[in-house]
Structure 1
Protein backbone atom coordinates (compact mmCIF):
# COMPACT_ATOMS: atom_id res chain seq x y z
CA UNK A 1 0.00 0.00 0.00
CA UNK A 2 1.06 3.59 -0.51
CA UNK A 3 3.21 5.57 1.91
CA UNK A 4 1.85 8.96 2.97
CA UNK A 5 3.80 11.82 4.53
CA UNK A 6 1.40 13.85 6.68
CA UNK A 7 2.42 17.44 7.46
CA UNK A 8 -0.02 18.71 10.08
CA UNK A 9 0.57 20.85 13.18
CA UNK A 10 -2.75 19.99 14.83
CA UNK A 11 -1.67 16.98 16.87
CA UNK A 12 -5.20 15.75 17.60
CA UNK A 13 -6.19 15.87 13.95
CA UNK A 14 -2.92 14.23 12.94
CA UNK A 15 -3.46 11.36 15.40
CA UNK A 16 -6.96 10.74 14.04
CA UNK A 17 -5.77 10.89 10.42
CA UNK A 18 -2.88 8.50 11.04
CA UNK A 19 -5.16 6.03 12.77
CA UNK A 20 -7.86 6.12 10.08
CA UNK A 21 -5.43 5.95 7.17
CA UNK A 22 -3.52 3.07 8.72
CA UNK A 23 -6.80 1.18 9.15
CA UNK A 24 -7.25 1.58 5.39
CA UNK A 25 -3.84 0.03 4.81
CA UNK A 26 -1.70 3.11 4.25
CA UNK A 27 1.65 3.62 5.92
CA UNK A 28 1.72 7.10 7.43
CA UNK A 29 4.61 9.22 8.74
CA UNK A 30 3.60 12.38 10.58
CA UNK A 31 5.68 15.53 11.00
CA UNK A 32 4.39 18.79 12.43
CA UNK A 33 6.60 21.38 10.71
CA UNK A 34 6.78 22.28 7.04
CA UNK A 35 10.52 22.91 7.25
CA UNK A 36 11.07 19.19 7.96
CA UNK A 37 9.15 17.92 4.93
CA UNK A 38 11.88 18.12 2.31
CA UNK A 39 14.45 16.57 4.66
CA UNK A 40 12.06 13.72 5.47
CA UNK A 41 11.36 13.07 1.77
CA UNK A 42 15.09 12.96 1.14
CA UNK A 43 15.35 10.04 3.58
CA UNK A 44 12.01 8.34 2.94
CA UNK A 45 10.34 9.29 -0.34
CA UNK A 46 6.58 9.04 0.14
CA UNK A 47 4.00 8.11 -2.48
CA UNK A 48 1.83 11.08 -1.51
CA UNK A 49 2.19 14.27 0.53
CA UNK A 50 -0.83 15.22 2.63
CA UNK A 51 -0.24 18.71 3.95
CA UNK A 52 -2.00 21.47 5.85
CA UNK A 53 -1.66 24.84 4.12
CA UNK A 54 -1.83 26.90 7.31
CA UNK A 55 1.21 25.69 9.20
CA UNK A 56 2.44 27.52 12.29
CA UNK A 57 6.19 27.57 11.61
CA UNK A 58 6.08 30.63 9.32
CA UNK A 59 6.32 28.42 6.24
CA UNK A 60 3.05 27.81 4.44
CA UNK A 61 2.15 24.51 2.85
CA UNK A 62 2.40 26.24 -0.53
CA UNK A 63 6.01 27.27 0.18
CA UNK A 64 6.89 23.73 1.15
CA UNK A 65 5.12 22.27 -1.89
CA UNK A 66 6.92 24.60 -4.29
CA UNK A 67 10.26 23.47 -2.87
CA UNK A 68 9.22 19.82 -2.97
CA UNK A 69 8.04 20.12 -6.56
CA UNK A 70 11.47 21.29 -7.73
CA UNK A 71 13.02 18.04 -6.52
CA UNK A 72 10.08 15.66 -6.94
CA UNK A 73 8.14 16.88 -10.00
CA UNK A 74 5.43 14.19 -9.97
CA UNK A 75 4.91 13.57 -6.24
CA UNK A 76 1.14 13.78 -5.58
CA UNK A 77 0.19 16.48 -3.07
CA UNK A 78 -3.12 17.01 -1.30
CA UNK A 79 -3.58 20.31 0.53
CA UNK A 80 -5.93 20.39 3.50
CA UNK A 81 -7.11 23.93 4.06
CA UNK A 82 -9.83 26.26 5.17
CA UNK A 83 -8.76 28.75 2.50
CA UNK A 84 -11.27 29.29 -0.27
CA UNK A 85 -9.90 32.40 -1.99
CA UNK A 86 -9.27 31.76 -5.69
CA UNK A 87 -5.69 33.07 -5.55
CA UNK A 88 -4.84 30.53 -2.85
CA UNK A 89 -6.32 27.68 -4.85
CA UNK A 90 -4.69 28.91 -8.07
CA UNK A 91 -1.23 28.97 -6.46
CA UNK A 92 -1.49 25.35 -5.47
CA UNK A 93 -2.95 24.12 -8.73
CA UNK A 94 -0.02 25.55 -10.69
CA UNK A 95 2.16 22.85 -9.09
CA UNK A 96 0.45 19.98 -10.97
CA UNK A 97 -0.49 16.59 -9.50
CA UNK A 98 -2.33 18.28 -6.64
CA UNK A 99 -5.77 18.26 -5.07
CA UNK A 100 -7.54 20.19 -2.33
CA UNK A 101 -9.48 18.95 0.66
CA UNK A 102 -11.45 21.69 2.36
CA UNK A 103 -11.70 21.57 6.14
CA UNK A 104 -13.65 20.19 7.89
CA UNK A 105 -13.85 16.88 6.06
CA UNK A 106 -14.75 13.25 6.58
CA UNK A 107 -12.41 10.29 6.25
CA UNK A 108 -14.33 8.80 3.31
CA UNK A 109 -14.06 12.03 1.33
CA UNK A 110 -10.33 12.30 2.01
CA UNK A 111 -9.76 8.64 1.09
CA UNK A 112 -11.55 9.17 -2.22
CA UNK A 113 -9.25 12.09 -3.04
CA UNK A 114 -6.13 10.15 -2.03
CA UNK A 115 -7.02 7.12 -4.14
CA UNK A 116 -8.11 9.26 -7.07
CA UNK A 117 -4.86 11.23 -7.09
CA UNK A 118 -2.68 8.15 -6.69
CA UNK A 119 -4.49 6.49 -9.59
CA UNK A 120 -4.29 9.62 -11.74
CA UNK A 121 -0.59 10.26 -11.33
CA UNK A 122 1.57 8.24 -13.70
CA UNK A 123 5.27 8.56 -14.30
CA UNK A 124 5.77 10.64 -17.41
CA UNK A 125 8.76 12.52 -18.70
CA UNK A 126 8.70 16.10 -17.57
CA UNK A 127 9.14 18.70 -20.25
CA UNK A 128 12.56 18.96 -21.79
CA UNK A 129 14.25 22.35 -21.68
CA UNK A 130 15.76 23.06 -25.08
CA UNK A 131 18.20 25.83 -25.90
CA UNK A 132 20.72 26.32 -28.70
CA UNK A 133 22.90 23.18 -28.75
CA UNK A 134 21.81 22.28 -25.23
CA UNK A 135 18.86 20.43 -23.70
CA UNK A 136 17.95 19.17 -20.24
CA UNK A 137 15.49 16.48 -19.16
CA UNK A 138 14.83 17.05 -15.44
CA UNK A 139 12.99 13.78 -14.88
CA UNK A 140 15.81 11.68 -16.33
CA UNK A 141 18.47 14.08 -14.97
CA UNK A 142 20.11 14.10 -18.40
CA UNK A 143 21.97 17.03 -19.93
CA UNK A 144 22.61 16.92 -23.67
CA UNK A 145 25.22 19.22 -25.21
CA UNK A 146 25.64 18.98 -28.97
CA UNK A 147 24.22 15.46 -28.87
CA UNK A 148 26.42 14.19 -26.01
CA UNK A 149 24.30 13.01 -23.08
CA UNK A 150 25.42 13.24 -19.44
CA UNK A 151 23.45 11.99 -16.46
CA UNK A 152 23.87 14.45 -13.59
CA UNK A 153 23.33 14.20 -9.82
CA UNK A 154 19.93 14.92 -8.26
CA UNK A 155 21.00 18.17 -6.59
CA UNK A 156 22.64 19.35 -9.80
CA UNK A 157 19.42 18.55 -11.67
CA UNK A 158 17.31 20.49 -9.16
CA UNK A 159 19.68 23.46 -9.44
CA UNK A 160 19.70 23.36 -13.24
CA UNK A 161 15.91 22.99 -13.41
CA UNK A 162 15.51 26.11 -11.29
CA UNK A 163 17.85 28.01 -13.59
CA UNK A 164 16.11 26.76 -16.76
CA UNK A 165 12.69 27.73 -15.46
CA UNK A 166 14.03 31.24 -14.89
CA UNK A 167 16.26 31.56 -17.96
CA UNK A 168 17.69 35.07 -18.48
CA UNK A 169 16.50 35.97 -14.98
CA UNK A 170 18.53 36.15 -11.77
CA UNK A 171 17.75 33.42 -9.26
CA UNK A 172 18.76 34.56 -5.79
CA UNK A 173 21.02 32.52 -3.56
CA UNK A 174 18.36 32.60 -0.84
CA UNK A 175 15.81 30.96 -3.13
CA UNK A 176 18.29 28.35 -4.33
CA UNK A 177 19.40 27.41 -0.81
CA UNK A 178 15.82 27.10 0.42
CA UNK A 179 14.66 24.97 -2.53
CA UNK A 180 17.71 22.70 -2.68
CA UNK A 181 18.46 22.25 1.02
CA UNK A 182 15.43 23.62 2.84
CA UNK A 183 17.69 26.00 4.74
CA UNK A 184 17.93 29.77 5.15
CA UNK A 185 21.62 30.25 5.92
CA UNK A 186 23.20 31.15 2.58
CA UNK A 187 26.65 31.61 4.10
CA UNK A 188 26.88 27.98 5.22
CA UNK A 189 25.95 26.78 1.71
CA UNK A 190 28.20 29.21 -0.20
CA UNK A 191 30.81 26.55 -0.94
CA UNK A 192 28.17 24.05 -2.10
CA UNK A 193 26.63 26.67 -4.37
CA UNK A 194 29.99 27.47 -5.92
CA UNK A 195 30.62 23.77 -6.56
CA UNK A 196 27.22 23.35 -8.21
CA UNK A 197 27.77 26.36 -10.45
CA UNK A 198 31.22 25.04 -11.40
CA UNK A 199 29.77 21.66 -12.38
CA UNK A 200 26.99 23.18 -14.48
CA UNK A 201 29.53 25.37 -16.29
CA UNK A 202 31.58 22.26 -17.06
CA UNK A 203 28.53 20.67 -18.67
CA UNK A 204 28.02 23.78 -20.80
CA UNK A 205 31.62 24.00 -21.98
CA UNK A 206 31.91 24.40 -25.72
CA UNK A 207 28.43 25.86 -26.11
CA UNK A 208 28.76 29.50 -27.27
CA UNK A 209 25.09 30.34 -26.75
CA UNK A 210 24.25 29.20 -23.20
CA UNK A 211 26.17 30.36 -20.17
CA UNK A 212 25.80 30.42 -16.40
CA UNK A 213 26.87 33.71 -14.85
CA UNK A 214 27.30 34.67 -11.22
CA UNK A 215 25.65 37.90 -10.12
CA UNK A 216 27.92 39.03 -7.30
CA UNK A 217 26.33 38.78 -3.83
CA UNK A 218 22.91 38.12 -5.40
CA UNK A 219 22.65 34.81 -7.24
CA UNK A 220 22.95 33.11 -10.61
CA UNK A 221 21.55 33.59 -14.10
CA UNK A 222 21.36 31.10 -16.95
CA UNK A 223 21.75 33.10 -20.15
CA UNK A 224 20.48 31.99 -23.55
CA UNK A 225 22.24 34.25 -26.05
CA UNK A 226 20.40 33.07 -29.13
Structure 2
Protein backbone atom coordinates (compact mmCIF):
# COMPACT_ATOMS: atom_id res chain seq x y z
CA UNK A 1 0.00 0.00 0.00
CA UNK A 2 1.45 3.38 -1.03
CA UNK A 3 2.23 5.98 1.61
CA UNK A 4 -0.23 8.87 1.85
CA UNK A 5 1.04 12.36 1.11
CA UNK A 6 1.22 14.28 4.39
CA UNK A 7 0.03 17.89 4.55
CA UNK A 8 0.54 20.13 7.55
CA UNK A 9 -2.40 22.51 7.98
CA UNK A 10 -1.99 25.47 10.36
CA UNK A 11 -5.38 27.16 10.92
CA UNK A 12 -6.56 28.83 14.12
CA UNK A 13 -10.27 28.79 13.21
CA UNK A 14 -11.37 25.36 14.55
CA UNK A 15 -14.41 24.97 12.30
CA UNK A 16 -12.57 25.93 9.12
CA UNK A 17 -9.60 23.79 10.08
CA UNK A 18 -11.78 20.71 10.47
CA UNK A 19 -13.58 21.34 7.18
CA UNK A 20 -10.29 21.62 5.29
CA UNK A 21 -8.82 18.60 7.09
CA UNK A 22 -11.81 16.36 6.37
CA UNK A 23 -12.04 17.51 2.75
CA UNK A 24 -8.37 16.76 2.11
CA UNK A 25 -8.60 13.40 3.86
CA UNK A 26 -11.46 12.35 1.57
CA UNK A 27 -9.05 13.05 -1.34
CA UNK A 28 -6.48 10.64 0.06
CA UNK A 29 -4.18 13.00 1.97
CA UNK A 30 -2.97 12.62 5.53
CA UNK A 31 -3.53 15.94 7.33
CA UNK A 32 -1.80 17.23 10.47
CA UNK A 33 -4.01 20.03 11.84
CA UNK A 34 -2.34 22.61 14.12
CA UNK A 35 -4.11 25.46 15.90
CA UNK A 36 -1.22 27.97 15.94
CA UNK A 37 2.20 28.65 14.47
CA UNK A 38 4.21 27.38 17.43
CA UNK A 39 2.55 23.98 17.40
CA UNK A 40 2.81 23.88 13.60
CA UNK A 41 6.59 24.43 13.62
CA UNK A 42 7.16 21.69 16.20
CA UNK A 43 4.94 19.35 14.18
CA UNK A 44 6.80 20.22 10.99
CA UNK A 45 10.15 19.38 12.61
CA UNK A 46 8.85 16.09 13.96
CA UNK A 47 6.73 14.81 11.08
CA UNK A 48 8.43 16.29 7.97
CA UNK A 49 5.29 16.68 5.82
CA UNK A 50 5.38 17.02 2.03
CA UNK A 51 3.43 20.31 1.86
CA UNK A 52 2.35 23.15 4.19
CA UNK A 53 -0.95 25.05 4.17
CA UNK A 54 -0.55 28.04 6.50
CA UNK A 55 -3.06 30.61 7.69
CA UNK A 56 -1.33 34.00 7.78
CA UNK A 57 -3.07 35.46 10.84
CA UNK A 58 -2.50 33.07 13.74
CA UNK A 59 -1.83 33.50 17.48
CA UNK A 60 1.65 32.95 19.00
CA UNK A 61 3.31 32.78 15.58
CA UNK A 62 1.85 34.05 12.29
CA UNK A 63 2.09 32.20 8.98
CA UNK A 64 4.78 34.46 7.50
CA UNK A 65 7.05 34.01 10.53
CA UNK A 66 6.45 30.27 10.45
CA UNK A 67 7.31 30.11 6.75
CA UNK A 68 10.57 32.00 7.30
CA UNK A 69 11.61 29.50 9.98
CA UNK A 70 10.70 26.54 7.76
CA UNK A 71 12.65 28.00 4.83
CA UNK A 72 15.81 28.07 6.98
CA UNK A 73 15.57 24.29 7.26
CA UNK A 74 13.97 23.40 3.92
CA UNK A 75 14.00 25.59 0.83
CA UNK A 76 11.98 23.20 -1.33
CA UNK A 77 8.85 22.18 0.58
CA UNK A 78 5.76 23.73 -1.08
CA UNK A 79 3.94 26.37 1.02
CA UNK A 80 0.43 27.70 0.43
CA UNK A 81 -0.78 30.73 2.43
CA UNK A 82 -4.43 31.16 3.41
CA UNK A 83 -5.49 34.68 4.31
CA UNK A 84 -8.27 37.23 4.39
CA UNK A 85 -5.69 39.98 3.76
CA UNK A 86 -5.70 41.33 0.23
CA UNK A 87 -3.23 44.25 0.25
CA UNK A 88 -0.64 44.05 -2.52
CA UNK A 89 2.29 44.33 -0.10
CA UNK A 90 1.02 41.34 1.92
CA UNK A 91 0.77 39.15 -1.17
CA UNK A 92 4.21 40.20 -2.41
CA UNK A 93 5.69 39.59 1.06
CA UNK A 94 4.23 36.09 1.12
CA UNK A 95 5.89 35.16 -2.16
CA UNK A 96 9.14 36.94 -1.33
CA UNK A 97 9.72 34.98 1.89
CA UNK A 98 9.29 31.70 0.04
CA UNK A 99 5.58 31.00 -0.38
CA UNK A 100 4.58 29.07 -3.49
CA UNK A 101 0.91 30.02 -3.62
CA UNK A 102 -1.55 32.40 -1.96
CA UNK A 103 -5.27 31.70 -1.54
CA UNK A 104 -7.64 34.39 -0.30
CA UNK A 105 -10.54 33.58 2.02
CA UNK A 106 -13.23 32.62 1.31
CA UNK A 107 -12.11 29.97 -1.16
CA UNK A 108 -13.51 26.74 -2.57
CA UNK A 109 -12.07 23.41 -1.47
CA UNK A 110 -11.79 22.34 -5.10
CA UNK A 111 -9.52 25.31 -5.82
CA UNK A 112 -7.31 24.49 -2.83
CA UNK A 113 -7.03 20.85 -3.90
CA UNK A 114 -6.10 21.82 -7.48
CA UNK A 115 -3.36 24.12 -6.18
CA UNK A 116 -2.05 21.45 -3.81
CA UNK A 117 -1.85 18.89 -6.62
CA UNK A 118 -0.12 21.40 -8.91
CA UNK A 119 2.56 22.11 -6.31
CA UNK A 120 3.09 18.42 -5.56
CA UNK A 121 3.45 17.68 -9.28
CA UNK A 122 6.02 20.48 -9.58
CA UNK A 123 7.98 19.01 -6.69
CA UNK A 124 8.08 15.65 -8.46
CA UNK A 125 9.41 17.40 -11.57
CA UNK A 126 12.16 18.97 -9.48
CA UNK A 127 13.41 15.51 -8.53
CA UNK A 128 14.39 14.75 -12.10
CA UNK A 129 18.12 14.37 -12.77
CA UNK A 130 18.34 17.22 -15.28
CA UNK A 131 21.45 19.45 -15.27
CA UNK A 132 21.35 22.38 -17.69
CA UNK A 133 24.00 24.72 -19.09
CA UNK A 134 23.39 28.39 -19.81
CA UNK A 135 26.37 30.47 -20.93
CA UNK A 136 29.14 30.12 -18.35
CA UNK A 137 26.69 28.78 -15.77
CA UNK A 138 25.73 25.23 -14.85
CA UNK A 139 22.25 24.80 -13.42
CA UNK A 140 21.52 21.74 -11.29
CA UNK A 141 17.74 21.80 -11.30
CA UNK A 142 17.09 18.97 -8.81
CA UNK A 143 19.37 20.56 -6.21
CA UNK A 144 18.34 24.14 -7.14
CA UNK A 145 21.99 25.15 -7.51
CA UNK A 146 23.47 27.62 -10.00
CA UNK A 147 27.26 27.67 -10.50
CA UNK A 148 29.39 30.14 -12.46
CA UNK A 149 32.37 28.28 -13.95
CA UNK A 150 34.07 26.65 -10.94
CA UNK A 151 33.04 29.24 -8.36
CA UNK A 152 31.00 28.57 -5.24
CA UNK A 153 27.43 27.35 -5.66
CA UNK A 154 24.54 29.83 -5.72
CA UNK A 155 21.55 28.34 -3.92
CA UNK A 156 18.21 29.19 -5.56
CA UNK A 157 14.81 29.14 -3.94
CA UNK A 158 12.13 26.68 -5.04
CA UNK A 159 10.39 29.26 -7.21
CA UNK A 160 13.59 30.77 -8.63
CA UNK A 161 14.70 27.32 -9.75
CA UNK A 162 11.43 26.49 -11.48
CA UNK A 163 11.25 29.88 -13.18
CA UNK A 164 14.83 29.57 -14.44
CA UNK A 165 14.12 25.99 -15.60
CA UNK A 166 11.29 27.18 -17.84
CA UNK A 167 13.30 30.17 -19.11
CA UNK A 168 16.17 27.89 -20.12
CA UNK A 169 13.83 25.37 -21.74
CA UNK A 170 12.44 28.25 -23.83
CA UNK A 171 15.84 29.91 -24.44
CA UNK A 172 15.78 32.61 -27.14
CA UNK A 173 11.98 32.33 -27.35
CA UNK A 174 9.30 34.27 -25.50
CA UNK A 175 8.06 32.61 -22.32
CA UNK A 176 4.37 33.51 -22.25
CA UNK A 177 3.66 35.53 -19.10
CA UNK A 178 0.15 34.18 -18.55
CA UNK A 179 1.18 30.56 -19.12
CA UNK A 180 4.09 30.64 -16.67
CA UNK A 181 2.05 32.52 -14.04
CA UNK A 182 -0.66 29.88 -14.16
CA UNK A 183 1.90 27.06 -14.13
CA UNK A 184 4.03 28.34 -11.22
CA UNK A 185 1.70 30.67 -9.29
CA UNK A 186 -1.66 29.03 -10.01
CA UNK A 187 -3.17 32.19 -11.53
CA UNK A 188 -2.20 35.25 -13.58
CA UNK A 189 -3.66 38.03 -11.45
CA UNK A 190 -1.96 41.33 -10.60
CA UNK A 191 -0.45 40.10 -7.34
CA UNK A 192 1.14 37.04 -8.94
CA UNK A 193 2.50 39.15 -11.79
CA UNK A 194 4.13 41.54 -9.30
CA UNK A 195 5.67 38.58 -7.50
CA UNK A 196 7.06 37.14 -10.74
CA UNK A 197 8.69 40.49 -11.56
CA UNK A 198 10.50 40.29 -8.21
CA UNK A 199 11.81 36.81 -8.99
CA UNK A 200 12.92 37.84 -12.50
CA UNK A 201 14.95 40.68 -10.93
CA UNK A 202 16.59 38.20 -8.54
CA UNK A 203 17.50 35.85 -11.38
CA UNK A 204 19.02 38.70 -13.41
CA UNK A 205 21.32 39.54 -10.50
CA UNK A 206 22.38 35.91 -10.08
CA UNK A 207 23.16 35.59 -13.80
CA UNK A 208 24.91 38.94 -14.21
CA UNK A 209 28.47 37.53 -14.24
CA UNK A 210 28.00 36.37 -17.83
CA UNK A 211 27.42 39.34 -20.15
CA UNK A 212 26.06 37.05 -22.87
CA UNK A 213 22.98 36.24 -20.78
CA UNK A 214 19.97 38.56 -20.67
CA UNK A 215 16.41 38.19 -19.44
CA UNK A 216 14.41 40.76 -21.36
CA UNK A 217 10.84 41.88 -20.87
CA UNK A 218 8.77 41.50 -24.04
CA UNK A 219 6.02 43.98 -23.26
CA UNK A 220 2.56 42.50 -23.44
CA UNK A 221 3.83 38.95 -23.94
CA UNK A 222 6.31 37.78 -21.34
CA UNK A 223 10.05 37.23 -20.86
CA UNK A 224 12.83 35.96 -23.08
CA UNK A 225 16.12 34.44 -21.92
CA UNK A 226 18.79 35.32 -24.47
CA UNK A 227 22.18 33.65 -24.57
User: Scaled by the length of structure 2, what TM-score is found?
Assistant: 0.55
Verify: 1:126 aligned to 2:128, yes or no: no
Taking the aligned partners of 1:66 and 1:135, their CA distance within structure 2 comes to 24
Deviations 1:43-76 (A, max 9, x none): 110010001001122x220111011011010000
Aligned partners of 2:34, 2:40: CA distance in 1, in Å?
Answer: 7
Gaps of 5+ in 1: 140-226
Q: Please, which runs of 5 or more residues in structure 2 have no aligned partner?
A: 128-141, 157-227
Paired residues of 2:50 and 2:78 also in contact (CA < 8 A) = yes
| 8 Å CA contact retained: 2:64, 2:97 | no
Query: In the alignment, is the contact (CA less than 8 A) between 2:41 and 2:70 conserved in 1?
Result: yes
Candidates 61, 64, 67, aligned match of 1:62 = 64
Asked if the contact 2:8–2:53 (Cα under 8 Å) also holds between the matched residues in 1, the reply is yes
Partner residue of 1:20 out of 12, 20, 23: 23
The aligned counterpart of 2:170 is none
- Across the aligned residues of Structure 1 and Structure 2, the Cα RMSD in angstroms comes to 2.3
- Cα deviation for residue 28 of structure 1 reads 0.3
Please say if residues 7 and 30 of structure 2, whose CA atoms lie closer than 8 Å, have aligned partners that are also in contact. Answer: yes
Contact 1:75/1:97, CA 8 A, preserved across alignment: no
SS at match of 2:143: coil
Residue 37 (str. 1) matches residue 55 (str. 2): no
- Judge conservation of contact 2:12–2:58 (CA < 8 Å) in 1: yes
Query: Does the Cα contact within 8 Å between 1:47 and 1:75 map onto a contact in 2?
Result: yes
Which residue is equivalent to 1:197?
A: none
CA contact (8 A) 1:49 1:78 kept: yes
In the TM superposition, what is the alpha-carbon distance from 1:80 to its structure 2 partner?
0.5
Q: Which has the larger radius of gyration?
A: 1
Per-residue CA distance 1:69-117 (angstroms, 9 max, x = gap):
1101000000000111111111111234610111001111111111111
Q: Distance in 2 between matches of 1:51 and 1:118?
A: 16
Determine the structure 2 residue equivalent to 1:107: 109
Secondary structure at the counterpart of residue 40 of structure 2:
helix
- What's the CA shift string for 1:112-131, capped at 9, x where partnerless? 1111111122242133699x
4+ aligned runs moved over 2 Å, structure 1: 121-124, 126-130, 133-139
Which residue number corresponds to residue 206 of structure 1? none
SS in 1 for 2:28: coil
Counterparts of 2:40 and 2:152, CA distance in 1: 30
| In structure 2, distance between residues paired with 1:126 and 1:13 | 35
TM-score, normalising length: structure 1? 0.55
